[in-house]
A = this chain, B = another copy of it.
Amino acid sequence: MVKYMTQQRRRLLEFLKSNPDKLFSPKEIAVQLDGEEVSLSAIYRNLAFLEESGVIGRVMRAGSKEVFYRALDSGVCHGRVHLTCTRCGKTNHMDAEVAKQLAEALRKSSGFEIDTARTTIYGLCKSCHS
């Protein structure tokens, strides 16, 4: 099935990509895109489509049942493992060296080949646990 790049899809994707490590609920996205003629159902349909394509990712934060989305492979994030804080929701990148060591350790101990792009590590960031 061939897919089109419609105005709505482009606007949604551009918005998420221009806010690389931030999380947005569908509702928040609707607010941000208000005035750009993107209906809520188009947002839902495109979020589902883009997630399935691996372009964006979906996350839940501790303590809330809201669902959040964020752009995945925007330049900066390429090949980086994400660290997401379950309290404030902020996402950072794992130190490249640590990621390399982790990949190596998993390969050796379990024969497991980590997919860095799809993996998010949860926990508390520096400012939230101190």
Residues of A at the B interface (CB closer than 8 Å) are 52, 58-60, 62-63, 65, 67, 83, 85-86, 92, 94-95, 97-98, 101-102, 105-106, 109-115, 118-126, 129-130
Contact = CB atoms under 8 A, between A and B. Distances in A.
A49 to B, nearest CB: 13
- Identical subunits present: 2
Nearest to A64: B58
B130 A123 contact: no
A114 B122 contact: yes
A5 B110 CA distance: 38
A69 to B, nearest CB: 12
B110 A119 contact: no
A129 B102 CA distance: 17
Given A65-B67, A106-B83, A125 B98 contact: no
Given A65-B67, A94-B106, A122 B111 contact: no
Closest 7 CB pairs of A and B: A111-B126, A95-B109, A114-B123, A115-B123, A118-B122, A98-B105, A113-B124
A106 B67 CA distance: 26
19 contacts: A58-B62, A59-B60, A60-B67, A65-B67, A86-B115, A92-B110, A92-B112, A95-B105, A97-B109, A98-B105, A98-B106, A102-B102, A102-B105, A106-B121, A114-B122, A114-B123, A115-B122, A118-B122, A119-B120
